[in-house]
Chains A and B, each alone.
Chain A
Amino acid sequence: MNDVTTNSIYIKEKKPILEYLVEIIFVICALIAVLAVALITVYIISTGVPIFNVIGAREFLLGTKWDPANGQFGIFPMILSSIIMTMGAVLVGFPLALLTSIFLTELAPPAIGKLLTILIDLLAGIPSIIFGLVGSVIIVPFLARIEERIFINSPTHIFTGGANLLSAILVLAIMILPTIIKVSSTSLRAVAKEIKSYSLSLGATKIQTIFKICIPTARSGILASIVLGIGRAVGETMAIILVSGNVVNLPLPFNAVRFLTTGIMAEFSYSSGIHRQALLGIALVLFVFIMTINLLLHIVIRRGAQNE
C-alpha cells in the first residue's frame, strides 16, 4: 500500500516536467501568432504614418483628388467607396443570409438542411478570384445592358461597361453570405427549445415564433454575424478589382470606383517615393478600419453575453 502511494507520487513528480514542456510549446505557438500581429501592426504604422507628415492628415484623408503624377493624394473618394460598398453588400446580403439561416435551422427537412450546409461551406471555400471572374463574365455584361438602358441619352454619364460600384456590391453580397449564414444560424440554433415550445403552446404560429421569439433571442449572435460580414467585405480585393472599373470616383451606383484595397493593389507595383508612401498610408487607414470592426465585434459579443 505504502509502496503504491510512493510510486504514484513518483509518477506525479515526473509528469509535471513533461506537462511544463508541452505547456511551453503551446505558449511559444501562441507567441508566434501574437508576434505576427505585433509585427504587422508595427510595420503598417511605421510605413503608413510618414505620408501624414508629408502632405498632412486633412489633405490625405479628406482630399478628393487622387493624381499621383501631379502630387495629389486625396483618398476621400476611396474611403467613401469602401464604406458604401460594404454597406451595400450587407444591405443586399444580410436579408438573404438571415432568411437562409432561418430556413436552415427551423424549417428545412434534415436532408435538405444537410445538403444546403454542404453547399454553403463550398461557397465559403471558393477563392475570391473565382467570384471576380464569374462576376466579370455574368454580372458585368448584365449591368452594362442596364446602364445603357438608363444612361443612353445622358450627355454627361461616363460609361463603365458594367464594371461599377453596383457590380462590386452584388459580387460582395454573395461572397459574405456564408459568413453571415454560419454565425447567425449557430446563434439561432442556440435558442432554447423550451422558449420556442412556450410560444407555440400559447398559440403562436411557427413564423410568429421565429420572428418574435427566435430572432430577438439570437440578436447578439446575428449582430456579430453582420459585423463579421462587414469585416470580410471591407478587406476584399481580388474579386472586386475585376468588376469595379478601378477609377477614383464618388461612389454612385453606376460609377466606376476604386476602393481602399483595390487602390493599393492597382498601383503598388507601379509606385515609388511619395506615391508608395501614400499607398502605405491607405494600408494604415484600412488597418484602422479592420481594427475598429474587430473592436465592435468584441463589444457586440460581450453585450450579448451580459444580456443572457
Chain B
Amino acid sequence: MKRFFFLLVFALLLTSSTKGSYDEQVRKNLLVGTIRIAGSTSMEKVTKALAGAFTSIHPNVNIDVQLGGSSSGIAQTLSGVVDIGNTSRELLSTETGLHQTAIAIDAIAVITNKNNPVTGLSSGDLQDIFTGKYNNWHHLCDANFPILSIGRENGSGTRRSFESIVLGGNSPPLYGRELGEAGSIISAVANYNGGIGYVSLAFIDESVQILPIDGYMPNEYTIRSEDYKLHSPFIMVTREGENRPLVNSFLDFVLSGAGQEQVRKCGFIPIR
C-alpha cells in the first residue's frame, strides 16, 4: 500500500512536471472535432498558420484547409460542405445568410518589371492601363515599350477587389494575360519588361518592384489612413444562426492577440 501510494505521488509529479497543471490539461482536451475551411487561395498561408497555432493549443482539434477561391468557399459554406468559408472580397448582394468575421486586411500591390523606369502611377493611370486605353509605356514615361497587363482569373477575390476599386465596375477590364496564382503573375512580370500586375503584398519577392499609387506605397499605415486604396478584406464566413462552440472558439482565437500576431507574421495587416 505504501509502495502504491509512493508510485501514485511519483506519477502525479511526473505528469504535472511534464505536461502542465491539471486545469491546463482539461482545457487542452476540452475541444474535440474537425473544422473544415475552404475558399480564397490568398488566405491559404494565413489560414494554415492560424490553424497550426490553434491546434497546438487544442491538440484534439483537426482543421482541414481546402482552397478553391473565394466564390467557391462562400458557396461551399452555404451548402454546408464546409464550416468556414474564406473570402478575400466583400460579399455580393446575392450572397446572403452568412455571418462575416473580418480577420485581416490584404494590401494589393501593383508590380512592374525592375527594368521599368516608371516610378509611380495614379489611379487614373491604372484604370487606363487595365481597360486597354494605354497599351504602351510611352504614355507614362519616355521609353517606348509595350504594356502587358496581367490579371488573375475569374473567381479570384483579389481580382474582384482590384476591379471594383480601380475600374469601379463600370468599364470591363482588358487583360493581355490571365493567370491563376499570385506566384505566376510575379514571375510573368519579372520575365517581361512591359509587364504589370496586381498581387497580394504578402506574396511579393525581390524579383519585381512595387509601384506607389497616387504617391502612396502599400503598408499598414497608408492603408489604415485610407491613403492607399487598393486592399481587400480577409473575411471568414459562417452560416447565419449556426452556433458551433468549436467554430466559435476558433474565430475567437483568430481575433485574439495570438491570432492577430499570426496574421502579422504572414505579412497581412491585423484587423485590430
Mark A residues whose CB is within 8 Å of B: 67-69, 144, 147-148, 151-152, 154-161, 163, 245-247, 256, 258, 266-267, 269-273, 275
Contact = CB atoms under 8 A, between A and B. Distances in A.
Contact of A271 (B72, B144, B149, B172): B72
A34 to B, nearest CB: 33
Interface stretch (B8-16, B100-108, B175-183, B252-260): B175-183
A267 B155 contact: yes
B122 interface: no
Contact of A156 (B72, B74, B135, B194): B135
A273 B155 CA distance: 12
A156 B177 CA distance: 16
Contacts of B174: 158
Nearest to A269: B68
Interface of B: 67-69, 71-72, 74-76, 132, 135-136, 144-149, 153-156, 160, 172, 174-180, 188, 192, 194-195
Contacts of B135: 154-159
Given A67-B154, A155-B135, A161-B188, A273 B177 contact: no
8 contacts: A246-B177, A256-B177, A256-B178, A267-B153, A270-B68, A270-B155, A272-B68, A272-B74
A192 B174 CA distance: 58
Contacts of B68: 269-270, 272
Given A246-B179, A272-B72, A161 B155 contact: no
Given A152-B146, A159-B147, A275 B71 contact: yes
Given A256-B175, A270-B155, A159 B71 contact: no
Q: Is the interface of B mostly helix, strand, loop or mixed?
A: loop
Contacts of A155: 135-136
Given A256-B175, A256-B177, A161 B136 contact: no
Contacts of A256: 175-178
Contact of B132 (A158, A245, A266): A158
A50 to B, nearest CB: 16
Nearest to A273: B75
A152 B175 CA distance: 17
A144 B192 contact: yes
A256 B154 CA distance: 16
B176 A160 contact: yes
B113 to A, nearest CB: 11
A127 to B, nearest CB: 20
A67 B74 CA distance: 19
B178 A245 contact: yes
A156 B139 CA distance: 13
**Closest A-B pairs by Cβ, 6 of them:** A270-B155, A272-B75, A270-B69, A159-B146, A161-B148, A272-B72
B72 A160 contact: no
A69 B136 CA distance: 28
Given A160-B177, A163-B177, 12 more contacts: A147-B146, A152-B146, A247-B177, A256-B175, A256-B176, A256-B177, A270-B153, A270-B156, A270-B180, A272-B71, A272-B75, A273-B75
B106 to A, nearest CB: 17
Contacts of B172: 67
A157 B160 CA distance: 24
B178 A266 contact: yes
Given A69-B154, A154-B135, A270-B155, A159 B180 contact: no
B194 A152 contact: no
B78 to A, nearest CB: 9
Contacts of B146: 147-148, 151-152, 157, 159, 161
Nearest to B40: A270
A159 B150 CA distance: 10
Nearest to A162: B192
Contacts of A275: 71, 154-155
Given A246-B179, A256-B175, A270 B195 contact: no
A156 B188 CA distance: 22
B107 to A, nearest CB: 22
Contacts of A266: 153, 178, 180
Contacts of A152: 136, 144-146
Contacts of B192: 144, 161
